Amino acid sequence: MKTIYIKLLLVAFVWGGTFIATRIAAQHLEPFAGAFLRFLFASIGLLALVWMKKKSLPRPDTTLLRYYIILALSGIIAYNFFFFSALKILPASRASLLVALNPVMVLFATAMVFGEKLRWTQVAGGLLSLFGAVVVIARGDLAHIFDHFGLGEALALGCPATWAVYTLVSRQIPAGQTPLITTTFVCLIGTLGLLPLALWEGLPLATLPASVWLALVYLGLLGTVLGFVWYAEGIQTIGTSRTAIFNNLVPVFGVLFSVLFLHESIHWTVVAGGVLVVAGVASINFFRVV
């Protein structure tokens, strides 16, 4: 049992690093081009994993294929457009705290779409996280928040919005479909969908520095393949709610790495807002568990 907790801690560590890797790649690649290369590596890694597990990719029926396409459009194409675009503009520390609203968006979207009842503690936690995001956006100047809300912030908030769509549609996948097979199909479809968009933006492969290739390999193999496998293993071993708690560490690692590797300066409002975001999300997950 201790092993899975170590793996999930490493997943949070790796996912915190995706903000740094994306920030590096986004300075040399347009959003669709960067996303295409990321998921090209991810697709190769997932296909290799399927082969090592001696599994085959079953032919999906029309309904399942429709779900896969929607998942690819929302969770891969749209999400990564916002992710790369935001990190082209915003510091990684700031972006990581806004993207940390993923669980809050999912919580409220699930309640609205599926009519799930929320405990008052979950609502309070969600509102606390949203207020923390407001503090981060406003940089402490709440009276003039819209003066600080720019394109980068809008793009970063597109991540939790599209992730909420991805999560809601994921619930429609039949229980018989394994996470590995579903994710492989979605990655393959997403990669194919990103290809013409990447070619339209331009793929300057010959001029990319080694640091960008390293960042893309990190995003594809570690951030997507390894993260997915261990996260899915966590869900199977200790359940969804306990596994989701480890997501709270992702923005913490994201901010820490941005200081260590990108030498970003952290304003006190980022720290204060980040504490509120993480505390709110942690309370949501905690009260789902107990």
56 compared with 208, residue with greater pLDDT? 208
Q: In which region does residue 115 sit, left (phi positive, over 0), alpha (psi from -120 to 50) or beta (all else)?
A: left
How far is the CA of 87 from the CAs of 78, 215, 252, 266, in angstroms? 14, 13, 17, 16
One-character DSSP codes across 10-39: HHHHHHHHHHHHHHHHHTTS-HHHHHHHHH
Q: How would residue 68 be classed by pLDDT, with cut points 50, 70 and 90?
A: very high
**Within 10 A of 20 (CB to CB), how many other CB atoms are there?**
24
What is the model's pLDDT at position 188?
96
250-284 pLDDT, tens digit each: 887 888 888 888 887 777 777 777 777 777 777 76
Would you say residue 146 has pLDDT above 70? no
Calculate mean pLDDT across residues 53-63. Answer: 85
Q: What is the pTM of this model?
A: 0.85
Find the mean pLDDT for residues 160-165. Answer: 88
Higher pLDDT, 239 or 209: 209
Least confident of 62-66, 127-131, 135-139, 196-200: 135-139
**Residue ranges of the domains in the chain?**
2-289
Hey, what are 143's tokens? 């009276």
Q: What is the mean pLDDT of residues 3-21?
A: 88
Rounded Cα gap, residues 42 and 221, in angstroms: 5
User: Dihedral (C-alpha) 52, 76, 243, 6: value to the nearest 10 degrees?
Assistant: 50
pLDDT at residue 41 tops 90: yes
Per-residue pLDDT band for 140 (boundaries 50, 70, 90) equals: low
